[in-house]
């Protein structure tokens, strides 16, 4: 099993290309099930989750081809993938596939809308909380779907004439449920209005792609999304938006180590709140023609309090990374997690490096230390794993991160990108 070896102490200087967003690519790929034409997606990252979803879509009958790789300094920088699902050959998404990645549960929306039925295993994914599927089920029931749960599977059927548009207000904001109901409603009869909908950029990206396919969606990016159902969708060509979580992660890495890095092919507007927190911690962040420049020279890291919230608040997917940054702040900071109830599993691993963190409910108190010391640590989930990398970049000596398959789910060529900027990071195969 691979591990990541880090020798800390080097500043970061150079250019890091930002990949396409995993959290946008996955629902966009699933949207290919809604049409028998070809959906072409550009800027798709090469990640374990993407490859897993390709296998799942193939199980449903999608024909998938990859081409158009752009070479930049010898690496495959982006991929263009064509998805063609002329016929759905299987409306069951089995446990052995869905259990490995939560987002694969989202196929229930397109399958139900296009075929009138779906049998999808209850999901798996990172162990960061229960994340139940009640909102998905309640929303689909609002569209007149009949749903039963039996032997670990959600069995869904639509009325004989197809799903029926309706008004549904989410009791709490859910990005995944917003994706699923928006996709399902595109082929429903009549108009669907989703209240308290997620406003994340990835939701907007999916809506824009669906509209390019012939859907009639308005209000994306606001709390109320309206979908006027259409008889069918066509193919389209769409570019996956930049990964704001990867952008924020590398910005925090620069803030942690010091240095001067251009984050290329990304957009400040995707993560204003997170970038403002990094500025308050002591980094200079400016927009450039090609992306974002992050600089920290001289002064140390300042303590900053944050609370995670749905967009446009501070992203829960950057919480662990920010905690890694705060471990060396000159003072005490507090991080409150409001999205997931079990997303502090990285605390004990950061403590192995010398971090001083205490927990009270959903709030972590981080007392900054003057030095971290390298140690063997274990990744517990996707975002927690990269918080250990950030801490390791500034720690004295060697940090060895095990279970890096978590990293491979969401960060494309992380060790190569950091190494090119002067970090001592390498993948070690046992």
Active site (catalytic) residues: 126
**254 labelled as ligand-binding?**
no
Q: Is 175 labelled as part of a ligand binding site?
A: yes
Whole-number Cα distances in Å, 307 to 289, 312, 313, 395: 31, 12, 8, 26
What whole-number distance in Å separates Cα of residue 264 and Cα of residue 251?
11
23 is in an annotated binding site: yes
Does 240 carry a binding-site annotation? no
Cα angle vertex 50, ends 46, 53, to 5°?
155
Is 134 annotated as belonging to a binding site?
yes
149 is in an annotated binding site: no
The first and second tokens of residue 372, run together, are 């971290």
How do strand 356-360 and strand 363-367 relate by DSSP bridges?
antiparallel
* Cis? peptide before 377, omega within 30° of 0: no
> Annotation-wise, does 131 bind a ligand?
yes
Q: Is 317 labelled a binding residue?
A: yes
Helix (H/G/I), strand (E/B), else coil: 367: strand
Alpha carbon distance 350, 357 (integer Å) = 8
**Three-class secondary structure of residue 110 per DSSP:** helix
Backbone angles phi, psi at 13, to 5 degrees: -140, 130
As beta bridge partners, residue 285 has 294
Does the annotation list 285 as a binding residue?
Answer: no
Question: Is 120 known to sit in a ligand binding site?
Answer: no
Whether 256 contacts 9, CB under 8 Å: no
HSE-up of residue 57 (Cα within 13 Å, Cβ side): 30
CA 394 to chain centre: 25
Cβ-proximal residues to 273 (8 Å cutoff; 6+ apart), any chain? 312, 313, 314, 315
**CA-CA distance, 97 to 65, in Å (whole number)?**
20
Is 102 labeled as ligand-binding?
A: yes
Q: Which residues are annotated as a binding site for UDP-N-acetyl-alpha-D-glucosamine?
A: 102, 131-135, 172-175, 317, 339
Q: Which residues are annotated as a binding site for phosphoenolpyruvate?
A: 22-23
Q: Which residues are annotated as a binding site?
A: 22-23, 102, 131-135, 172-175, 317, 339
């Amino acid at each position: 099993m691979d591990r990541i070896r880090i020798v800390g102490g080097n500043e970061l200087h150079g250019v890091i290309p930002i990949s396409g967003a995993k959290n946008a690519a996955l629902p966009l790929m699933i949207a290919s099930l809604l049409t028998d034409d070809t959906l072409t997606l550009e800027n798709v990252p090469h990640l374990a989750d993407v490859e897993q979803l390709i296998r799942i879509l193939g199980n449903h009958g999608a024909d998938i081809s990859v081409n158009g790789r752009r070479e930049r300094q010898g690496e495959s920088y982006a991929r263009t993938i064509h998805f063609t699902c002329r016929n759905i050959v299987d409306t069951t998404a089995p446990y052995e596939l869905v259990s490995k990645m939560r987002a694969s549960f989202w196929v229930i929306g397109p399958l139900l809308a296009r075929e009138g039925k779906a049998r999808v295993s209850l999901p798996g994914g990172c162990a960061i909380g229960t994340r139940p599927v009640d909102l998905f089920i309640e929303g689909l029931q609002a569209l007149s779907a009949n749903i039963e749960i039996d032997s670990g599977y959600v069995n869904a059927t639509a009325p004989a004439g197809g799903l029926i548009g309706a008004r549904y207000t989410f009791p709490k904001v859910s990005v995944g449920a917003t994706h699923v109901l928006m996709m399902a409603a595109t082929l429903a009869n009549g108009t669907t209005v989703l209240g308290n909908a997620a406003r994340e950029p990835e939701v907007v990206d999916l809506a824009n792609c669906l509209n390019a396919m012939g859907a009639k969606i308005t209000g994306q990016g606001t709390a109320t999304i309206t979908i006027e159902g259409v008889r069918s969708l066509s193919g389209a060509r769409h570019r996956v938006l930049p990964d704001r979580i990867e952008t924020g992660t590398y910005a925090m890495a620069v803030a942690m180590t010091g240095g001067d890095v251009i984050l290329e092919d990304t957009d400040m507007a995707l993560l204003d709140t997170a970038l403002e927190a990094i500025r308050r911690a002591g980094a200079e962040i400016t927009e450039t023609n090609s992306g974002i420049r992050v600089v920290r020279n001289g002064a140390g890291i300042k303590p900053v309090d944050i609370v995670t919230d749905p967009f446009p608040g501070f992203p829960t997917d950057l919480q662990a990374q920010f905690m890694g940054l705060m471990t060396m702040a000159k003072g005490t900071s507090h991080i409150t997690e409001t999205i997931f109830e079990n997303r502090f599993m990285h605390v004990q691993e950061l403590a192995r490096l010398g971090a001083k963190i205490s927990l009270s409910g959903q709030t972590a108190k981080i007392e900054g230390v003057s030095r971290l010391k390298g140690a063997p640590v274990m990744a517990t989930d996707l975002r927690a794993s990269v918080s250990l990398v950030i801490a390791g970049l500034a720690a004295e000596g060697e940090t060895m991160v095990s279970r890096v398959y978590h990293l491979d789910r969401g960060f494309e060529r992380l060790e190569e990108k950091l190494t090119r900027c002067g970090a001592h990071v390498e993948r070690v195969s046992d």
